[in-house]
Amino acid sequence: MDRFARVRTGPGALLLFILGLTTALAQPPLWVLPVLWIAYPLALPLILSRTGWRAALAFVFMFWWGQIVGGMYWLGWVVAVDLATYWWVTPFAVLGLPAFLALVQSPWWLAGWFVAGRLKLGLTSALLIFAAMAMGAEGFRGWVMTGLPWGPLGTVWGFHPLTMQLSAWIGVFGLTALTTLSASGPALLAQRRPAQALAVTTLPLILLLGFGLWRLNAIGAESAGSTDTVVRLVQPGTNTLMRLDDAAKQQRVRDLKSMTFSGDNTHDVAIWSETSIQFFIDYFPEELDWVIRDLPDDSLIITGGLGASPGDNPIPTNTAYVLNEGGILDRHDKAHLVPFGEYKPWFVRWIPVATFSAGSFWEGPGLSTWTIPGLPPVSPLICYEMIFPGKVIKPGEPRPEWMVNISNDGWYGNTSGPRQHFIFARFRAVEEGLPMVRVGGTGISGVIDAAGRVRHRIGYGATEVVNLPLPVNLPETPFSMNSRISFWLTICGILLFSVFARLRSNIGYYWARR
């Protein structure tokens, strides 16, 4: 550790930012995982080598800032949607918001640094504490204010269903802890402890792969089945962010209806993307009448649209509807709104900044479960609502049999954003043991079974209509039964291993002295 202690704060902080930025290469869709086993063995000893809390905080902040900037670089594309108006927001979007998120996470690793230093823990115990604190930090980022748990480190394992299965027990944040621990294991080589380095590096990977093999074998035939329900995915390949006049909005709906009801009409429900209908169909009956005009008998459409909040002074809502030829069967108002995209956070309301949408939306009451005749019960999720582990099913309701996520990923452009969003959908399917059907206006759309396997995928920017059978659901997973208990048990379990490693070290030292 002496060589790390000699690194000065200024150059060290810059190095930590670069190391954090490098780790983003491991995230989807690049999957350059080896960079983790280079960055973490350098980053954590550098942090632990600091003697003052300010320097330690600076190192922690810079590492996570770099990681979040690299993973969310597509925020610059969000501004580019209307660059002429919002060009000056670009530095805040690309650097400022990630800096805020890094600040939210930083106290967790700072606490790990404090405990490791105060108790004079060995490096193995310290690495275990940092792994637990990394999990806590990402969970906290998904909770504070409205939360933004985009791109947790655990998603680096989303390239294959085998490596995703452990999230059915510990969630994607639990995979973050295991990844942090394994990636930091080579740091023990600097202390000439090859056996410990090998154990810390490989045991989490053995657990990840071994559990994946066991679970896929256990649920094999069951998870591969399909129900009798047929869903029609309609991806027009068009961006619904563009502000259209009424004639263009009507033409968009006509095009969607034409795509939906041409060809093979044996589907049970058609699914359109978020904001496909840019009319207030719940507030103006004539607009609803126009939308449902000429719909075939017994047709069902799940679509995104605009809505109005209750009360005398209605506020626009981002809403998912179930429609048939008779009108609106059910609705879900988006409850998790996107900061700056759909509302202005309270802490910047004094700044003269508009949202990137036409105005702030009303926050819906929460998650929903739709029970529609002719369909299995379903949990509707609009865009961003799907990225929250353990918060995609309404508590206390009869368990849905599938999830539907409608989105408009035109915000991200043809960047890693839509690819990451699709990977998050796969993790929610594994965590909940439920199939996920996802439709985006520009993509990426698809059907994902309850084991996270992709049954069908429509690429970004493609225009496609496809009928697919809905995969079967699996029994509740331990994570879906109580995600909070799973979260805290995983953290506490890793901390107990840290205590065990400390006791083992003390006992070994005692016997060596004798």
Q: Does 157 score more than 90 pLDDT? A: yes
- pLDDT band per the 50, 70, 90 thresholds, residue 292: confident
Percent of the chain whose predicted confidence (pLDDT) is above 90: 61
Q: Collapse the DSSP code of 514 into the 3-class scheme (helix H, G, I; strand E, B; otherwise coil) and give the result.
A: coil
* pLDDT for the residue 342: 62
| Cβ(212)–Cβ(178) below 8 Å | no
* pLDDT for the residue 75: 86
* pLDDT for the residue 236: 92
Higher pLDDT among residues 501 and 132, named by residue: 132
**Rounded average pLDDT over 454-467:** 95
Amino acid identity for residue 434 in this structure: L
Q: Which two tokens stand for residue 52?
A: 């003052």
Q: Does 35 score more than 60 pLDDT? A: yes
- Rounded to an integer, what distance in angstroms lies between the CA atom of residue 323 and that of residue 462? 25
Q: Which residues pair with 437 in a beta bridge?
A: 404, 447
Find the Cα–Cα–Cα–Cα dihedral 379, 382, 387, 388, rounded to 10°.
Answer: -60
| Cβ(404)–Cβ(378) below 8 Å | yes
* pLDDT for the residue 361: 72
Ramachandran quadrant class, 452 (left: phi over 0; alpha: psi -120 to 50; beta: rest): left
* pLDDT for the residue 341: 61
Q: Which two tokens stand for residue 374?
A: 């002719």
**Rounded average pLDDT over 6-25:** 92
Token pair 């990844």: residue = 179
* pLDDT for the residue 504: 66
Whether the link from the prior residue into 129 is cis, omega within 30° of 0, is no
| Cβ(320)–Cβ(302) below 8 Å | yes
pLDDT tens readout for residues 163-221: 999 999 999 999 999 999 999 999 999 888 899 999 999 999 999 999 999 999 999 87
**Rounded average pLDDT over 99-125:** 92
All structural domains of the chain, each given as residue ranges with its CATH number in brackets, are 2-219+482-513 (no CATH), 227-480 (3.60.110.10)
Q: Does 512 score more than 60 pLDDT? A: no
Backbone φ, ψ for residue 503 (5° rounding) = -65, -40
| Cβ(467)–Cβ(460) below 8 Å | no
- pLDDT band per the 50, 70, 90 thresholds, residue 125: very high
56-60, 71-75, 105-109, 310-314: which has the minimum mean pLDDT? 310-314
Amino acid identity for residue 178 in this structure: L
306 membership: H or E segment, kind and range: strand 301-308
- pLDDT band per the 50, 70, 90 thresholds, residue 83: low
Q: Does 126 score more than 50 pLDDT? A: yes
Strand order in the sheet with 436-440: 378-382, 402-407, 436-440, 445-448, 454-458
126-140, 184-198, 286-300: which has the minimum mean pLDDT? 286-300
- Rounded to an integer, what distance in angstroms lies between the CA atom of residue 350 and that of residue 127? 42
Query: Between vectors from CA 69 to CA 67 and to CA 75, what angle results, nearest 5°?
Result: 145
305-314, 431-440, 483-492: which has the minimum mean pLDDT? 305-314
Q: For the residues of 148-166, what is the DSSP string, one character each?
A: ---S-GGGGGTTSGGGGTT
- Residue 392's nearest CA partner among 355, 345, 429, 349 is 429
pLDDT tens readout for residues 245-284: 778 888 888 888 889 988 777 899 999 999 888 888 888 8
Q: What is the pTM of this model?
A: 0.91
Question: What does pLDDT average to over the chain?
Answer: 88
| Cβ(276)–Cβ(253) below 8 Å | yes
| Cβ(271)–Cβ(437) below 8 Å | yes
- Rounded to an integer, what distance in angstroms lies between the CA atom of residue 184 and that of residue 358? 45
Q: Which two tokens stand for residue 60?
A: 């922690």
- pLDDT band per the 50, 70, 90 thresholds, residue 151: very high
354-368, 404-418, 441-455: which has the minimum mean pLDDT? 354-368
Q: Does 508 score more than 80 pLDDT? A: no
Whether the link from the prior residue into 29 is cis, omega within 30° of 0, is yes
pLDDT tens readout for residues 356-376: 454 577 777 889 999 999 999
- Residue 393's nearest CA partner among 362, 457, 436 is 436
Higher pLDDT among residues 3 and 53, named by residue: 53
Other CB atoms closer than 10 Å to residue 293's CB: what's the count?
A: 10
Amino acid identity for residue 502 in this structure: R
Find the Cα–Cα–Cα–Cα dihedral 232, 391, 395, 146, rounded to 10°.
Answer: -120
* pLDDT for the residue 347: 52
Q: Does 487 score more than 60 pLDDT? A: yes
Q: Does 510 score more than 50 pLDDT? A: no
| Cβ(160)–Cβ(454) below 8 Å | no
| Cβ(319)–Cβ(333) below 8 Å | yes
